[in-house]
Each structure stands twice: as C-alpha cells, then as structure tokens.
C-alpha cells in the first residue's frame, strides 16, 4: 500500500522559520509535490521534487531524500497570510502514463503575531 504521513497541526510566529515534514512509504517513486490550501479554497502548487536535494523558490524551499522516503517544506520570514494547510502528495508509482497523485492529510499551519 501507499502511505503518506504529515503532522496534523503546527503553530509558528510571524517572521520565524517553520519546517513541515512529510514521510512516504510507497513501492516506487516518481515525484513529490507540495501544495498550499487556504480554508475553503483550491490547493495551489508550491513545489516539485524528483531528485534528492533542496529546491528553493523565494521564501519557500522543499527538500527530498528518496533513500529515507522523506521531504520537508521550509517557510522563511513567515507572514500571517501563510496560515493555511500544506499538502504533501506523491505521484502514484503505479500510475503509468497518468499523473495521478496520492495526497497526505495535510498540515494546518497557524501563524501567530
């Protein structure tokens, strides 16, 4: 079976740095995505990792270790608008030519003043 684990909730302070972890157990690997979702809205794409290492995009970075089945999303200089759910998803290794994703339950981040 395929399984993705993320913490349910996290709290951080405005201006600080927060790291959201994601571990996955899948029979193969073909890419990992991070999405941001504000309450009641559509998820929006943040990052994609398929090779080991760090991908940086402004205040957001994502890291992948395929040997450990582990990824994290790093958010720097936190702003109040970063309060949202962060969804980790892996491409279904049995998806073949499809682009099916398997999602974790998401991590609800609350940024406090």
Residue in this structure with the two tokens 């290794």, named with its chain if needed:
93
The 8-class DSSP code of residue 7 comes to -
Stretch that binds another protein, among 18-26, 29-37, 59-67, 74-82 (CB under 8 A): 29-37
Q: Does 51 bind another protein (CB under 8 A)?
A: no
* 60 binds another protein, rule: CB under 8 A: no
CB count in 10 Å sphere of residue 85: 19
At which residue do the structure tokens 């990824």 appear?
71
Establish if 91 lies at the interface with another protein (CB under 8 A): yes
Identify the residue among 16, 17, 50, 80 touching another protein (CB under 8 A).
Answer: 50
Q: What residues numbered 92-111 form the site for another protein, per CB under 8 A? A: 92, 95-101, 103-106
43 binds another protein (CB under 8 A): yes
Residues in the chain, how many?
113
Tell me if 8 contacts another protein by CB under 8 A.
yes
């Amino acid at each position: 079976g395929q399984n993705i684990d993320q913490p349910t909730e996290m709290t951080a302070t405005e201006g600080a740095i927060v790291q959201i972890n994601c571990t996955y157990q899948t029979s193969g690997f073909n890419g990992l995505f991070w999405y941001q979702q504000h309450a009641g809205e559509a998820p929006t794409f943040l990052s994609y990792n398929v090779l080991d290492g760090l991908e940086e995009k402004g205040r957001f970075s994502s890291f992948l270790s395929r040997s450990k089945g582990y990824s994290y999303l790093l958010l720097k200089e936190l702003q109040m608008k970063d309060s949202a759910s962060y969804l980790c998803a892996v491409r279904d290794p049995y998806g073949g030519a499809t682009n099916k994703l398997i999602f974790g339950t998401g991590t609800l981040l609350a940024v406090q003043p």
